[in-house]
Amino acid sequence: MKRWLKAVRGFCAEDLREAARRFDRILLRKCFNCDSRRNPLYLLAIARTVRDGRKPLLERRRRERLECEKRAAAIKAAQDQERRRAENPESASRRALELARVAFENSGFGLNIAGIWLDQALQSLARRGADAYRLSTERLVELAQIAPVRRWLEERIAKYLPPPRPLSEDLRI
């Protein structure tokens, strides 16, 4: 009994059930009592066949699960990065400016991403008000030392410039 339990230890219950079902079906074709294949080794051979047949399916499921987990981790990381950019638009705009500088040095490769990051940061800054927007963008323009980057930045800044507050709103504050 110990040898039998040791032999079937590596098989899952589903494989053993399927092997037992196949074993019974094969043995019922002939006389059950006098069949020479009526032994535990034959049952183990059937169980190995079942397990080997299921391996590609199990591997495919495992790969799909790992891919799904990687995709979920990548989405979560992107959402975290998006949240950090929304929480701190000043540093996000500086990183976008640095990315734009590198993009201009590499013949524009990556400029679209830098533009998207800068647009999001400028929109967040514009929600804070015209004065905060002006102060933050002045610091950004000072950081832009390359002429094409400075022109690109000034175009983006002008695009998201919030309208000035009316005098009545200033009086209420």
Full-model pTM? 0.50
Residue 56 included in any domain: yes
Instruction: Report CA torsion sign: 137, 140, 144, 148.
Output: negative
User: How many structural domains comprise the chain?
Assistant: 2
Please give the average per-residue pLDDT across 31-49, as a whole number. 73
Residue 52 included in any domain: yes
Q: At what angle do helices 111-128 and 147-159 cross, to 10 degrees?
A: 50
In angstroms, the CA 132 to CA 154 distance is: 16
Bigger pLDDT: 55 or 66?
66
pLDDT of residue 69 exceeding 90, the answer is yes
In angstroms, the CA 171 to CA 173 distance is: 5
Same domain, 69 and 17: yes
Domain that holds residue 136: 88-164
Residues 95 and 117 sit within 8 Å (Cβ to Cβ): yes
Same domain, 62 and 109: no
Same domain, 99 and 154: yes
Same domain, 38 and 103: no
The pLDDT assigned to 98 comes to 84
pLDDT of residue 110 exceeding 70, the answer is yes
pLDDT of residue 45 exceeding 80, the answer is yes
Q: How many residues does the chain have?
A: 173
